[in-house]
Homo-oligomer: A and B are copies of this chain.
């Protein structure tokens, strides 16, 4: 059916870079290779864990940021930008934060030849920077809610092995910091933020688990934390979003008060919500295959690549049709690239498959005659679209790809979760396990140690009630189901 392709002019140029590792052989080896070969990042910058965003990855990140901003606007948040540097004294105001971040922060001591009077930390997160100013912005209940966010870089001195997009020292970061008059309102905001996180992950065709983290693993200073974890192909989970209820913990440390309608002063209730470049890492890791990336259409920098199938002396009609197709698709708001390079069709296919373009459109002389275009989805499915239906046809195929990617990840995720009752069963189950537990921290720690797993926490997206079950650790009456997994 597409036999004409193999007859097309072949040029003797170097074959495009291909992957030497198979995803199924060793996920992490494959991941480390694909992020460089597909030109997402350059890890040769001479500081460990501080990588270069190459244009293709940065476009992907900007597409994700643009959607996040849209969601923030929809939910009435204002974007701000606070300074990167935080004076030491401010940072020391909230003790839990120092405990949590003290060993991970970078310090600025000198400006030119001058030692600073007070040294600064480079933000690992922005609570201390923002919460020193919020008291100046919030006076009365009329100033509430204050819903703000920023998109910035944060810096953490990672001592573990670094991995592009997944564990780095300079992190592209989104953080929502919001203040409310009542606990009820801040609780409602936790729900709103989780919905935004869900929408963002959905856009990346990623399924996630929402779990309330155990007390020993909540954000430093938080009342409680919720993590959104994505199950990676290795069965390990990657935390991709977190939402924290601070209650009045920070407002008390930073003196963020408001005048109630009755004229009394009270501390505000606060929440935060963070996401990062890990969204790129999860997308790359979950959807890619042995040929390279597979980017979900909704965020792909290039949604459609058009490859003209050229025969010497017969270029005219094919190139003409290719260009009108590009124009029509662009006019419809689609991100399209026309590959007119002097390479063989096969080289071009490999090039764009490696880069994960979800849909390839091929136009050869026969397609022009037959008034249709041929297409190949990144997952190999092929078909034709009639010329007069080009825009609708392409849109439909892209929607189908987006849906299929998400369903594939949903199906995979389900295979990785095992509801069990005993630690011995959990040992055999592998990947993510859900066990009934009582509420004692020592029982949670006991399971962690026995399995060498981390606690994800209590499911918020499924029933958590374990009434009638026995704690997998101590054998007494269980209260909740708790998720455990190996994590990145």
Contacts and interface: CB of A to CB of B under 8 A. Distances in A.
B80 A58 contact: yes
Interface string A97-137: 00000111111111111100000101000000100110011
Contacts of A172: 81
A79 interface: yes
Nearest to A53: B81
A172 B152 CA distance: 12
Given A52-B82, A82-B45, A113 B103 contact: yes
Contact of A108 (B62, B79, B108): B108
| Residue from A51, A62, A78, A84 having most chain B Cβ neighbours under 10 A | A84
A200 B85 CA distance: 30
Given A42-B133, A103-B112, A112-B157, A52 B79 contact: no
A299 to B, nearest CB: 16
B87 A46 contact: yes
A380 interface: no
A59 interface: yes
Nearest to A83: B50
Given A46-B87, A120-B47, A170-B85, A80 B108 contact: no
Contacts of A82: 45, 52-53
Q: Is the interface on chain A under 10, 10 to 19, 20 to 34, or 35 or more residues? A: 35 or more
Interface string A152-164: 0101010000000
Contact of A90 (B46, B53, B107, B133): B46
Nearest to A101: B112
Contact of A55 (B46, B78, B85, B102): B78
A69 to B, nearest CB: 9
A314 interface: no
A78 B53 CA distance: 11
A152 to B, nearest CB: 9
Contact of A109 (B44, B47, B59, B109): B109
A54 interface: yes
A44 B83 CA distance: 11
A109 B107 contact: yes
16 contacts: A45-B83, A45-B132, A45-B133, A46-B87, A47-B87, A47-B120, A50-B84, A55-B79, A59-B79, A84-B153, A102-B112, A105-B112, A106-B108, A108-B108, A112-B157, A114-B157
9 shortest A-B CB distances, which residue pairs?
A55-B78, A50-B83, A53-B81, A111-B157, A103-B112, A107-B110, A109-B109, A106-B108, A106-B111
Interface of A: 42, 44-47, 50-55, 58-59, 62, 78-85, 87, 90, 102-114, 120, 122, 129, 132-133, 136-137, 148, 153, 155, 157, 170, 172
Given A84-B153, A104-B112, A106-B111, 4 more contacts: A44-B133, A53-B82, A107-B108, A112-B157
